[in-house]
Amino acid sequence: MNVDLLLGKTQEHLVCLEGTNHLLHKDMLRDFLRLREDARDAGFELSVASAFRDYQRQESIWNAKASGQRPLLDESGRPLVFEVMSPTEIIFAILRWSAVPGGSRHHWGTDIDVFDERTQIKGDVKLIPSEVTQDGPAAPLHNWLDERIAASEAYGFYRPYETDRGGVAPELWHLSYSPLSVGLLESYNFTLFRKNIFESELILKSVLLDQAEEIYQRFMLNVDLP
């Protein structure tokens, strides 16, 4: 088990997606390019909004949200009022949309957030439910992806957060490369998860440690399977 890979503390397994600054796992690049080409043939520009995210970046996101410097959102993507929330309420609000640093699937380079660059301006992409459902600008792309995934024609990509299982809020834009990510999740364990928090500099660390077992089960293991 490569602990540094699981925790987002190495980039040795990554390659850069040409024309971008996004890093992907080297063993999934070929299949992503195949899926992107199929999307182009269908009239979409399948683009990456977020790919590999290292530990430090995830830590900065967590600490900004845990200190009220970045907004907290409800299940529909609407802002919550930070000042009236308890520490426990804050961490579980964060976890609906952002993983604990060291526990993010984005650390592995196997998971990406996507959008349709033909209907969305890259700088304006918010990755919220209204963009990908009903009349949202990326809804046609995701309807097409629904069909590809259901027919096992998505080259190993699937959605780990397709349904609301009481953990991470549904994220249709989040694709995972199952030939790699399934095994990486199986390699992760609670001992590593808790040790990572214990040794961290995270805001609300004591609350995280108190709730560590529930967080691990509910937000890390509780995902849709391919």
Q: Is the pLDDT of residue 75 over 90?
A: no
pLDDT tier, 87 (very low <50, low <70, confident <90, very high otherwise): very high
CA pair distance 206, 186, nearest whole angstrom: 26
Q: What is the pLDDT of residue 56?
A: 97
What is the DSSP-derived secondary structure letter of residue 133?
S
Instruction: Tell me the CATH number for domain 3-216.
Output: 3.30.1380.10
Hey, where are the domains in the chain? Answer: 3-216
Q: What is the mean pLDDT of residues 47-59?
A: 97
Q: What is the pLDDT of residues 88-141, one digit of tens each?
A: 999 999 999 999 999 999 999 999 999 999 999 888 999 989 999 999 999 999
Quote the pLDDT of residue 122. Answer: 87
- DSSP secondary structure, 51-88, as one string: ----HHHHHHHHHHHHTTSS--B-TTSPBP-GGG--HH
Q: Which two structure tokens, joined as six digits, stand for 153?
A: 């024609």
State pTM to two decimals: 0.95
Long-range contacts at 144-153 (CB < 8 A, ≥ 24 apart): 144/39, 144/42, 144/44, 145/172, 145/175, 148/35, 148/38, 153/38
Tell me the two tokens of residue 215. Answer: 């967080």
Give the pLDDT confidence score for residue 55 in this predicted structure: 98
Query: What's the average model confidence in pLDDT over 160-170?
Result: 95
pLDDT higher than threshold 90 for residue 76: no
Binning pLDDT at 50, 70 and 90, where does residue 77 land?
Answer: confident
Which residue, among 135, 90, 110, has the nearest Cα to 13 in the 3D structure?
110
Res. 1: pLDDT tops 80: no
Average of per-residue pLDDT values in the chain: 96
DSSP state of 170: P
pLDDT tens per residue across span 174-223 = 999 999 999 999 999 999 999 999 999 999 999 999 999 999 999 999 99
Ranges 16-25, 72-81, 192-201: which has the least confidence: 72-81
Quick one: average pLDDT of 138-157?
Answer: 98
Whole-number percent of the chain with pLDDT over 70: 100
Q: How far is CA 174 from CA 83, 110, 111, 161, 178, in A?
A: 30, 11, 7, 7, 12
What is the reported pLDDT for 123? 87
Per DSSP, 22 falls in state: -
